[in-house]
A and B are shown apart, each in its own frame.
Chain A
Amino acid sequence: KQEVTQIPAALSVPEGENLVLNCSFTDSAIYNLQWFRQDPGKGLTSLLLIQSSQREQTSGRLNASLDKSSGRSTLYIAASQPGDSATYLCAVLSNDYKLSFGAGTTVTVRA
């Protein structure tokens, strides 16, 4: 069974600082890994998707890396802003098309 762990569970930084969010998974047989953003009481918004054959993906201030062999992914958010405050979820898609989620990292960016 795929287990996904996110560390830290919560993070508070001053505006402008770079954010580093970590995700680890136990089974390296994955199709892809996806990072989502969730605002309080809201649904999930997909931020980045990395295919198993890729090492990283970038979108604006966001960069996600994937090391499939070691079961790790890192989401970097450059020059954080208060609007980046949210919970960030990591999810891996396994070969049976099931998505396994981590518990999330709750980010607070202080103005």
Chain B
Amino acid sequence: DADVTQTPRNRITKTGKRIMLECSQTKGHDRMYWYRQDPGLGLRLIYYSFDVKDINKGEISDGYSVSRQAQAKFSLSLESAIPNQTALYFCATSVGDIQYFGAGTRLSVL
């Protein structure tokens, strides 16, 4: 199985602060994804990358940016955090048709 590691696991920040969530994977998968999960809404796609030079917006990219530093690393940034970005964030990688998820980062914006 893919080993997908997200850091930090929990983070509390204040409105207006810049914050970065990091994701790394050990299996060399080309495709990586960032999702957010809100209660009652399921997971929604923020950004995805099919290789190091390919970055694409998902359905809710406003207020977020990403960086694919290497095949194994895909970071999500909130340039100026706001309270409605409080959510559970997941990174995923895929090989073939199967996606493997990290344990998630719980972010609270006060």
Contact = CB atoms under 8 A, between A and B. Distances in A.
B31 A43 contact: no
A98 interface: yes
B97 A32 contact: yes
Contacts of B40: 9, 103
Interface in A34-79: 34, 41-44, 46, 49, 51
A42 B103 contact: yes
B35, B41, B42: residue with the most chain A Cβ atoms closer than 10 Å? B42
A36 to B, nearest CB: 8
A73 to B, nearest CB: 15
Interface string B26-37: 000001010100
Interface residues of A, number: 23
Nearest to B59: A1
Interface in B94-110: 94, 97-104, 106
B42 A101 contact: yes
A107 B92 CA distance: 24
A99 interface: yes
B29 to A, nearest CB: 12
Interface string A8-48: 01000000000000000000000110100000011110100
B97 A49 contact: yes
Nearest to B103: A43
5 contacts: A34-B98, A42-B103, A97-B94, A99-B45, A102-B42
Interface of A: 1, 4, 9, 31-32, 34, 41-44, 46, 49, 51, 89, 91, 93, 97-99, 101-104
Given A43-B90, A101-B43, 20 more contacts: A1-B59, A32-B97, A41-B104, A43-B101, A43-B102, A43-B103, A43-B104, A46-B99, A51-B97, A89-B42, A89-B43, A91-B43, A93-B97, A97-B31, A97-B50, A98-B48, A99-B45, A99-B99, A101-B42, A104-B42
